[in-house]
Amino acid sequence: MICSKDIIYLDYAATTPVDDRVASVMCECMTKDGVFANPASRSHQLGRDAQGRVELARREVARLLGASHTEIVWTSGATESDNLALKGVAHAFRDRGRHIVTSRTEHKAVLDSARQMEREGFEVTFLVPEDQGRVTPEQVREALRDDTVLLSIMHVNNETGVISDVAAIGRLCRERNILFHVDAAQSAGKLPIDVDRMQVDLMSVSGHKVYGPKGIGALFVRSGTASRVEPIIHGGGHERGMRSGTLPTHQIVGMGEAFRLAGLEMAAETERLEGLRDRLWDGIRRLGGVLLNGHPEARIPGILNVSFEGVEGESLLFALRELAVSSGSACTSATREASYVLRALGRSDQLAQSSIRFSIGRYTTTADIDRAVEIVTEQVHRLRGLAPKAGDNSERQAS
Amino acid sequence: MDIIDYSPQVQERFERPVNAGRLLGRVVSGEAGDEASGTRVEFDFRLRGATVEQGAFRAYGCPHAIAAASWVAEQAHGRPLADTTWLDPLSLAALLEVPDHKLGVLLVVQDALESAASHARQTEE
C-alpha cells in the first residue's frame, strides 16, 4: 500500500514508484565508488564497466519483448520512442509513400507526431475504434493503401486498459509490406509480448510504467528494413546513429532491472491484480448508474475506467481526493476538455467528464481497494443527493 | 482534469452544504442550466408574504456551483424574493474566490434565483 499524506495511490497507469530492488541497482551506478563512467568511454575499464551494465540491461529489455538486444535503442521515454518511430520511419521511407494510419485513441505522443507529419506533407488516417475501444483488423485492412508507409496502434490504451489484437493487425501489415509500430508503454511487463509473433517492426516502451525510473525508455527497431529509421536527435552517433546522447547508465540499469523483475513476476501479479480489479468493480457497480468504459474482457487487469451517471466530473474528482486517481489520461489532465479517448468511444461529454480511471499495481492491497470502494460509494451517493433529479417531485426536507 | 484550489468557504460548503434538498409544502421554485452543459441549479423558497422565510437548493455542478447555490439559498433569507439586486456575481466570485473562468457558473446560479424571482412576481400579480 502506498499511503502518502493519507492518500491511497491508484494511479499506476500514470506512473509507478521505483521498486526498492530497482533503486538499489541504480544507486550502484551513480557515485564515485560506483559504475558512474560514460559507457561510451571504451578507452578505460570504468567506461567498459558501465557499457557492460548498459548492455546487460539492454538484454533484459529485449528478453521481455522477445527481441534481440541489437534491436533495442535507448530513449528518454515512450514519448520520444513514439516520436522517433513515426518521424523516423516517415522521413526514411518518404520515397515509398506518404500515408500513415493510426487511431484517434492513441497517446498524444503518437497523435501529435502524426499531426506533425501532416504538416510535413503526409496524409494521416485516424481510425475510430469500433469494438468497444479496439481497432479491428478489418478497419485496418480497409485503411491501408499502396502508399501507406506506417501503421501505429497502441497495444493497451492508457485510459481504458483495452487490449488491441496487435498480432492480427501485424499480420496485415506484413502481408502489405507496411511497417508496424506499437506503443507498448502500458503493456510491457504486464502482458506477454513477442515482437516476432506479433510481427511488429517498432515498439515503444517506458521504464517508469514498470517500477523503473522516469526519463528512460526504449524503442525496439527490427533489424533490416526498419533500421533505416532516421534519427530525430543528432550528436555523437550513439545507439547505432539512431539516438545520440550520453547514455544515462543508472536509468538504463534501473529499467533493465525493472523489466527483469516484471518478467519474473508477471504471471502471479496478473492474477493478483485481476482479483483486486474485480473486487473494486464489484464494489463500485453496486452504486448503480456506473458504466464501464472500454471492452469488458479484452483489457489489462491494472486499469478500471468507469463513468458515473448523475455526478459532475470536477466535483467527483474533488470529492475523491483521498484517492490518487485520474480523470481521463494524465497527459490531458492539464485541460478541462472531456477525454478524447472516451469521446472517441462514443461517450457523451458529460459521461466522459464524470469518468475516473482507477489503476492498481504492485503495492495496492485489498485494504486499499475496500477503502476506495467505501469512499467512492459515500461520495457518489452524497453528490447525487445534492443534484436535481429529472421528474423528481418527491419532497425531502432541506437540512 | 486538474483539481484547482478551492477557498476554505467553497470547501466547507461543498462538504457540508447548508440548505441542500427540497422544501416541503407551498414554495416558489426557480431553475437554470442543464447537466449536459455542466451546471444545473434549482431553488425552492418558502415565503412569508413576499419575504423569503427559508431557501433550499439542488445543484449539479462543480464545487463552486454547489457552494454558490448554498450561499444564495442561505443569504436569500429575510429578503423579498422578487428583488434579486442584492446578488452580484462578481462580488460573490470575490467572496468565494471563484476564478474568472468559472464566472459562468455563478451566472447560472444567478439565473436560477432570477427564475424564482420571476415566478414570485407572477404570483404577486
E strand or H helix at A153, and its extent?
strand A148-154
pLDDT of residue A106: 95
Position with higher pLDDT, A50 vs A6: A50
| Fold exhibited by the domain A3-15+266-386 | Aspartate Aminotransferase, domain 1 (3.90.1150)
Chain B nearest-CA distance from A354, in A, is: 10
Listed by start position, the domains of chain B span: 10-124
Residues of B in contact with A350 (CB under 8 A): 35-36, 38
pLDDT of residue A349: 85
B56: Cβ contacts below 8 Å, ≥ 6 apart:
A398, B19, B20, B21, B22, B23, B43, B44, B45, B73
Residue B31 sits at the chain A interface (C-beta within 8 Å) = yes
Residue B61 sits at the chain A interface (C-beta within 8 Å) = yes
Please tell me which residue of chain A has the smallest CA distance to B1.
A333
Cβ separation of B21 and A396 shorter than 8 Å?
yes
Residues of A in contact with B3 (CB under 8 A): 314, 317-318, 321
Residue A305 sits at the chain B interface (C-beta within 8 Å) = no
Chain A nearest-CA distance from B59, in A, is: 5
CA distance A181 to A221: 9
Which of B6, B14, B22 is nearest residue A398 as measured by Cβ atoms?
Answer: B22
Which of A317, A349, A392 is nearest residue B3 as measured by Cβ atoms?
Answer: A317
Residues of B in contact with A349 (CB under 8 A): 36
Residue A268 sits at the chain B interface (C-beta within 8 Å) = no
Phi-psi region of A322 (alpha: psi -120 to 50; beta: other; left: phi over 0): alpha
Domain A20-261, CATH: 3.40.640.10
Mean pLDDT to the nearest integer, A280-304: 96
pLDDT in tens, B71-117: 999 999 999 999 999 999 999 999 999 999 999 999 999 999 999 99
Mean pLDDT to the nearest integer, A246-263: 98
pLDDT of residue A226: 72
| Fold exhibited by the domain B10-124 | Sufe protein. Chain: A (3.90.1010)
Residue B13 sits at the chain A interface (C-beta within 8 Å) = no
Output the nine-digit C-alpha cell for B50: 413576499
Residue B58 sits at the chain A interface (C-beta within 8 Å) = yes
pLDDT band at A331 (very low <50, low <70, confident <90, very high): very low
E strand or H helix at A205, and its extent?
strand A202-206
pLDDT of residue A355: 94
Residue B6 sits at the chain A interface (C-beta within 8 Å) = yes
Mutate to test the interface with A, among B1, B5, B15 (most CBs of A within 10 A): B1
Cβ separation of B38 and A312 shorter than 8 Å?
yes
Position with higher pLDDT, B24 vs A365: A365
Residues of A annotated as catalytic are 331
The answer, yes or no, to whether residue A334 has pLDDT greater than 60, is no
Cβ separation of B21 and A327 shorter than 8 Å?
no
pLDDT in tens, A75-132: 999 999 999 999 999 999 999 999 999 999 999 999 999 999 999 999 999 999 987 8
Output the nine-digit C-alpha cell for A103: 487511431
Output the nine-digit C-alpha cell for A204: 515503444
For the entire predicted model, the pTM comes to 0.92
| Complex-level ipTM beyond the 0.85 threshold | yes
pLDDT in tens, A129-147: 987 889 999 999 999 999 9
Cβ separation of B3 and A386 shorter than 8 Å?
no
pLDDT of residue A328: 52
Residues of A in contact with B33 (CB under 8 A): none
Long-range contacts of residues A1-6, Cβ cutoff 8 Å, at least 24 apart: A1/A363, A1/A364, A1/A365, A1/A367, A1/A368, A2/A363, A3/A368, A6/A322
On the 0-12 / 13-18 / 19+ scale of CB atoms within 10 A, A227 is middle
Q: Which of A59, A74, A54 is nearest to A260 (CA)?
A: A59
Position with higher pLDDT, A346 vs B107: B107
pLDDT of residue A5: 67
On the 0-12 / 13-18 / 19+ scale of CB atoms within 10 A, A47 is middle
CA distance A181 to A102: 9
B111: Cβ contacts below 8 Å, ≥ 6 apart:
B32, B33, B41
Residues of A in contact with B42 (CB under 8 A): 388
The answer, yes or no, to whether residue A335 has pLDDT greater than 80, is no
Please tell me which residue of chain A has the smallest CA distance to B65.
A315
Position with higher pLDDT, A351 vs B58: B58
pLDDT of residue A389: 83
Cβ separation of B38 and A318 shorter than 8 Å?
no
pLDDT of residue A102: 98
Mutate to test the interface with B, among A316, A339, A386 (most CBs of B within 10 A): A386
pLDDT of residue B4: 63
Question: Taking CB atoms and an 8 Å cut-off, how many pairs form between chains A and B?
Answer: 87
E strand or H helix at B52, and its extent?
strand B51-60
Q: How many residues does chain A have?
A: 399
How confident is the prediction for chain B on average, in pLDDT? 94
Cβ separation of B22 and A397 shorter than 8 Å?
yes
Chain B nearest-CA distance from A107, in A, is: 16
pLDDT of residue A390: 65
The answer, yes or no, to whether residue A345 has pLDDT greater than 90, is no
Residues of B in contact with A395 (CB under 8 A): 22-24
Which of B1, B20, B39 is nearest residue A398 as measured by Cβ atoms?
Answer: B20
Residues of B in contact with A328 (CB under 8 A): 1
CA distance A357 to A299: 13
pLDDT of residue A225: 78
Residue A349 sits at the chain B interface (C-beta within 8 Å) = yes
How confident is the prediction for chain A on average, in pLDDT? 93
Cβ separation of B62 and A315 shorter than 8 Å?
yes
